[in-house]
């Protein structure tokens, strides 16, 4: 390890990305900068050194929900992985039975920890908050009891350390280090999150500074990919600042990996893993959740479904090469790839294409197809609180063009002769789905009280990428309010 101061798919089962090949190449070149000049055809020809399947937040409740985990394991098996990483919240309520269902799913896919060709497949598992205290959240205990499960089988009541060894075949240790094909993987359990700082002081010098190593924990590092979400209270920065070959992998947020904010590079590299249970809605949209809105703010649109009503399940396959790490992102619900992969050049200290500023600058801007139109009408409806409301409704096609699609849309009211004002933002209803399952149309709804009076105006709809960079708008016909 070097500490500095601050200052080819393997089986026919694996499908190609559901986007034109030139888009993958373009994303690679933009992401990798000078690194791309040293490769031919957008990718190097050398074989990967290591392949790892990655999931998080399976939130297993019963045998049925464990099937989603098994589905991912079968996909990873067919990809030819060397290990599978689970980044915590294996269970939802924190019950012994959930871990049993997970262990049984693993044994069906990798009996005796072996692939069909006899290779050992390494478990890289850790715990999350739900494994310890899932019953405490929302109305989880009522749901658990209604489903016929008892608090008598809580993991914390039955000795979580003993149950870990029973089901996953290894000792429950505060910090665990494993080597897979010459690469180090280090993890801490939920109740030992701060122990990695001291561990790095004692053992950091033992790590190979010529190649990346991987630290995984349930939460993500503060001030990286977790803006607006609970982080790790600075633990990762204390342990890994000045260690550019560290790759920190976390879960917990359930935020979609279609959002470029889920990968970050600075003093180290941080990667969010999304969720195998439900996708959390992003903040700040009329059809999602509002964060930091005034108390008198009322959304006019019903929110997109969340929690168990939102069924998109995501994961990744990480392939490590001598000169790069590739994160292929998977939509397991629809059986397709999620956009272009993230490609991290190695050594990471020389190039940081996923620093937010660099990533935002390189990401393509979406645009509407030629001839796209926005239809506007007023209706008497109900806002999110159920109160009657006179609303402006805009309907327009999704912005999908040249292999680039919009993550969200910004509506601006543009008075004649005046500057446009942001009226509302809506996230794409398929923001977390694979490219091939993009919705065909989008609706935006807002109160007519936001419209100007006495002057003619148009509604302009701007397609934006996840960093807020907007393409050319489409506009409604001219309106005038008395």
Pick from 344, 342, 339: nearest CA to 324: 344
pLDDT band at residue 14 under the 50/70/90 scheme? very low
Tell me if residue 247 falls in helix, strand or coil. Answer: strand
Rounded Cα gap, residues 8 and 47, in angstroms? 8
Question: Rounded mean pLDDT of 215-221?
Answer: 96
Which strands make up the sheet holding 375-382, listed edge to edge?
375-382, 388-397, 441-447
d(CA 48, CA 55): 20
Q: Across residues 379-406, what is the average pLDDT? A: 94
Write the DSSP symbol of residue 374. -
pLDDT tens sequence across 79-137: 999 999 999 999 999 999 999 999 999 999 999 999 999 999 999 999 999 999 999 99
pLDDT band for position 275 (cuts 50, 70, 90):
very high
- 3 by DSSP, 3-state: which? coil
Residues 6+ apart with CB under 8 A from 52: 81, 82, 83, 84, 85, 124, 180, 317, 318, 320
| Residue entry with tokens 């991987």 | 214
Spatial separation of the C-alpha atoms in residues 319 and 344, rounded to whole Å: 10
For residue 240, what is the DSSP state? H
pLDDT at 311: 72
Q: Which domains does the chain have, with CATH numbers?
A: 21-277+313-362 (3.60.21.10), 375-480 (2.60.40.10)
CA pair distance 225, 350, nearest whole angstrom: 21
β-partners of residue 185 are: 178, 214
Q: Among 81, 99, 100, 78, which Cα is nearest to 90's? A: 99
| Terminal C-alpha separation, the chain | 69
Q: Are strands 213-216 and 183-188 parallel, antiparallel or unpaired?
A: parallel
- 58-69 residues labelled b (16+ CB within 10 A) or e (exposed): bbbbbeebbebb
Tokens matching residue 470: 């907007």
Report pLDDT digits (tens) over 152-163: 999 999 999 999
Handedness of CA 40, 45, 49, 53 (dihedral sign): positive
Residues 343 and 77: beta-carbon distance below 8 Å: no
CA angle 454, 457, 463 (to 5 degrees): 150
Q: Alpha-carbon dihedral of residues 298, 304, 308, 312, nearest 10 degrees?
A: -150
pTM: 0.88
Looking at the predicted structure, is the pLDDT value of residue 446 above 90? Answer: yes
What the block records as the tokens of 405 is 């699609």
Q: Which helix (H) or strand (E) holds 113?
A: none
**E strands along 201-297, which residues?**
213-216, 246-250, 263-265, 269-272
Separation CA 10–CA 472 (nearest Å): 41
SS3 462: strand
SS3 55: strand
Q: Tell me the average pLDDT across 203-232.
A: 89
Compare 354 and 350 and report the one with higher pLDDT: 354
Residue 293, pLDDT score: 60
Which tokens sit at 309? 């009503």
Three-state DSSP class for 411? strand
pLDDT value of residue 306: 60
213-216/246-250 β-pairing: parallel
Using pLDDT thresholds of 50, 70 and 90, give the confidence band for residue 350: confident
250 near 207, Cβ under 8 Å?
A: no
Task: Taking residues 52-64, report their average pLDDT.
Answer: 96
Note the pLDDT of residue 447: 93
């Amino acid at each position: 390890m070097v500490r500095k101061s601050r200052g080819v798919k393997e089986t026919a089962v694996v499908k190609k990305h559901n986007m034109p090949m030139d888009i993958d190449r373009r994303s690679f070149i933009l992401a990798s900068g000078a690194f791309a000049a040293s490769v031919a055809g957008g990718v190097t020809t050398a074989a990967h050194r290591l392949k790892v399947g990655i999931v998080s937040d399976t939130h297993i409740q019963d045998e049925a929900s464990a099937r989603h985990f098994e589905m991912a394991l079968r996909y990873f098996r067919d990809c030819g992985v060397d290990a599978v990483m689970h980044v915590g919240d294996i269970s939802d309520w924190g019950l012994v039975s959930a871990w049993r269902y997970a262990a049984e799913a693993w044994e069906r896919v990798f009996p005796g920890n072996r692939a069909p060709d006899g290779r050992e497949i390494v478990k890289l598992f850790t715990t999350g908050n739900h494994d310890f205290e899932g019953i405490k959240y929302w109305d989880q205990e009522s749901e658990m009891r209604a489903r016929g499960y008892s608090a008598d089988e809580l993991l914390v009541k039955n000795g979580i350390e003993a149950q870990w060894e029973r089901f996953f075949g290894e000792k429950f240790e505060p910090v665990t280090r494993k080597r897979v094909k010459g690469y180090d993987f280090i993890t801490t359990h939920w109740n030992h999150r701060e122990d990695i700082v001291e561990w790095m002081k004692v053992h950091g010098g033992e790590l190979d500074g010529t190649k990346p190593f991987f630290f995984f924990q349930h939460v993500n590092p503060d001030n990286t990919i977790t803006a607006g979400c609970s982080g790790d209270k600075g633990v990762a920065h204390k342990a890994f600042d000045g260690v550019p070959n560290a790759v920190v992998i976390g879960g917990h947020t359930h935020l979609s990996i279609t959002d470029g904010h889920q990968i970050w590079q600075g003093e180290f590299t941080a990667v969010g893993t999304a969720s195998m249970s439900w996708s959390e809605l992003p903040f700040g949209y009329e059809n999602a959740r509002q964060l930091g809105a005034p108390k008198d703010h009322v959304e006019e649109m019903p929110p997109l479904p969340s929690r168990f009503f939102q069924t998109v399940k995501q994961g990744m396959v990480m392939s490590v090469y001598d000169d790069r790490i590739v994160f292929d992102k998977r939509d397991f619900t629809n059986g397709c790839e999620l956009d272009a992969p993230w490609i991290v050049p190695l050594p990471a200290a020389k190039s940081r294409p996923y620093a937010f500023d660099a990533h935002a600058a390189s990401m393509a801007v979406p645009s509407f197809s030629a001839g796209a139109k926005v239809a506007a009408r007023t209706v008497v409806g109900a806002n999110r609180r159920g109160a009657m409301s006179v609303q402006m409704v805009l309907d327009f096609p999704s912005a999908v063009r040249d292999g680039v699609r919009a993550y969200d849309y910004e509506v601006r009211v543009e008075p004649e002769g005046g500057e446009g004002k942001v009226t509302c933002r809506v996230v794409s209803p398929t923001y977390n789905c694979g490219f091939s399952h993009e919705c065909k149309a989008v609706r935006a709804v807002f109160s007519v009280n936001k419209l100007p009076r006495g002057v003619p105006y148009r509604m302009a709809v701007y397609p934006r990428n996840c960093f807020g960079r907007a393409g050319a708008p489409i506009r409604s016909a001219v309106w005038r309010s008395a």
